[in-house]
Structure 1
């Protein structure tokens, strides 16, 4: 146990915090995927993308020890302190990631639908 703790002491705290946050986000998104795949097709994908955008949109935190942080925390901090520029900056970052994700999801949906149709047409061909 002492060896494990001595190894963790050599790793910077920021690296450990970001790693734990990313691993936790991946677990949450994986669990939500299990729920979202049971929802109707567009709503499941949209809800997954909303959670993805809320959890993983990055921003830079304020203060003397500024580092990368989720934009959701900046948004909540802006709402609590009633700082409109902070609210709009973080909300626009989240909406940008959400918009890009929805566009990519739409294109992927159209691609997979077209690919599925071409496979069905090949199977029904008499040749």
Structure 2
């Protein structure tokens, strides 16, 4: 009688339970999802390396407007990222806030619902 070969999860390398399906590759949904994220990440990294080797970095990457560092959106940051890290995003926001005109004084407008009647009680609207 042949002994069953021990199988392992393709992501975490833990042994698969004996009760799992014969065609199971991962120990559970969390490992399946993590493996997919890892594959997607490494495919992007490979594409970046290939583009860099061919001299096409400017087509897939951009420079951060704050620090000037070159980065690839979608690899470690969102695909539509303008800044390479949160510190640059915060610095840009603070610079925009400083450039804004000083705050306008609050107007003392009273809405109808907040108006007061002759008797001193709030009006119902």
TM-score w.r.t. length of structure 1 = 0.33
Greater RCO (CA < 8 Å, at least 6 residues apart): 1
TM-score w.r.t. length of structure 2 = 0.34
> For the pair shown, which has the larger CA radius of gyration, 1 or 2?
2
Structure with more of its chain in helix, by fraction: 1
